Homo-oligomer: A and B are copies of this chain.
Amino acid sequence: MKATVFHGARDVRVETVPDPTIKEPADAIVRVVNAAICGSDLWPYRGVAKWPDGSRLGHEFTGIVEATGADVRGVKAGQFVAAPFSYADGSCAFCREHLYTSCEHAGFWGGLDDDGGQGEFVRVPFADATLVAIPDAIRDDAGKRTAALALTDVMGTGYHGAVSAGTKAGGAVVVVGDGAVGLCAVQSARYLGAERIVAVGHHAERLALAKRFGATDVVDSHDPQAQEKIVELTRGGAPSVVEAVGVQSSLDLALGVVRDGGTVAFVGVPAGMETLSFRRLFNGNVALRGALAPVRAYLPELMSALSNGSIDPSPVFTHKLPLERTPDGYKAMDERAAIKVCLEISKP
């Protein structure tokens, strides 16, 4: 089969690799319909994260079940399914608490040991626990199919951020960061009923999309008065803040705009967060919550919300490309021409 393989910084190729096969009775083989390129895929691409040559890429995909192992009961061949960005056994203590990312057998797609999503087929471990069926109403609708792909990572992550920050119906939320996850956090906050949603970023077209997604206000993060403006907009700070960038300056801004007693949830892998004002946390009774999204926990609800039109994150996919043009997709992401790229790999 064809799949995307990493060969070094800015050297991503679509190559022929071995077809996956059922190895364990709980496995399924999925033919990928759509896969995405993620902001975090740019780390190896840019050489920031040192990945081994030959690593497979991609951790967001939807597809059709092709084959299942002997123990698989929950999905069957022909079914359209979504996979969260990490798999889990579904039976350990953490999985029973729906904290799938802490599963003792948790794994992430790609690398040297697993298939990546950016290829024609994926071997899916713990298929019953990992895969979630996608309703026909979504399968038959091109726009919703694309939106379903967003649920596998960015929308699940944005939603987890909004939930982890304690977003309340009628409440105020600040989302720092206008990347795909930040935009999805905005839409999630609206879905959760927040009344005031302040989106913070510095790309005009992304902030415009934030408004479409439900932001009541947008603030330019490069404005020296950004913090004061946000505090004023939220009448003294927001009880719920989602930090969706992962760097020191955005963490500092988040802590500067959270209301005393509130929560800052950070949903991106911390990259360059070095220091923390413990005094800010202490004096203000503020919580800082790390929030690696257990996307599997949210897929059923978000799939239902997508079906009935309550959410639609599909606009984060600004570019659609066939598998063979995956390297162009990385380039578009790297140059920030694309918010997010959807690869159209096979027919649903």
Q: Which residues of A contact B (CB under 8 A)?
A: 93-94, 97, 99, 101-102, 164, 236, 260-261, 263, 266, 269-270, 273-276, 278-292, 294
**Contact residues in B for A282 (Cβ distance below 8 Å):** 266, 269-270, 290-292
> With A and B bound together, what is the CA distance between A302 and B284 in angstroms?
23
> With A and B bound together, what is the CA distance between A270 and B280 in angstroms?
10
Verify A281–B289 contact, CB threshold 8 A: yes
> With A and B bound together, what is the CA distance between A281 and B164 in angstroms?
12
Number of copies: 2
Verify A286–B283 contact, CB threshold 8 A: no
Verify A101–B270 contact, CB threshold 8 A: no
**Contact residues in B for A279 (Cβ distance below 8 Å):** 269-270
Verify A283–B287 contact, CB threshold 8 A: no
**Contact residues in B for A290 (Cβ distance below 8 Å):** 278, 280-287
The contact of A94 among B94, B260, B287, by CB within 8 Å, is B260
Q: What is the chain B residue whose CB lies nearest that of A293?
A: B285
**Contact residues in B for A93 (Cβ distance below 8 Å):** 236
Verify B291–A261 contact, CB threshold 8 A: no
**Contact residues in B for A273 (Cβ distance below 8 Å):** 278
Known: A93-B236, A279-B270. A287 touches B288 (CB 8 A): yes
* Pairs A–B under 8 Å by Cβ, sample size 11: A93-B236, A94-B260, A101-B283, A102-B284, A266-B278, A280-B290, A282-B290, A282-B291, A284-B290, A285-B289, A285-B292
**Contact residues in B for A283 (Cβ distance below 8 Å):** 101, 290, 292
> With A and B bound together, what is the CA distance between A113 and B93 in angstroms?
54
**Contact residues in B for A287 (Cβ distance below 8 Å):** 263, 287-290
**Contact residues in B for A284 (Cβ distance below 8 Å):** 102, 290, 292
**Contact residues in B for A281 (Cβ distance below 8 Å):** 266, 288-290
Verify B292–A261 contact, CB threshold 8 A: no
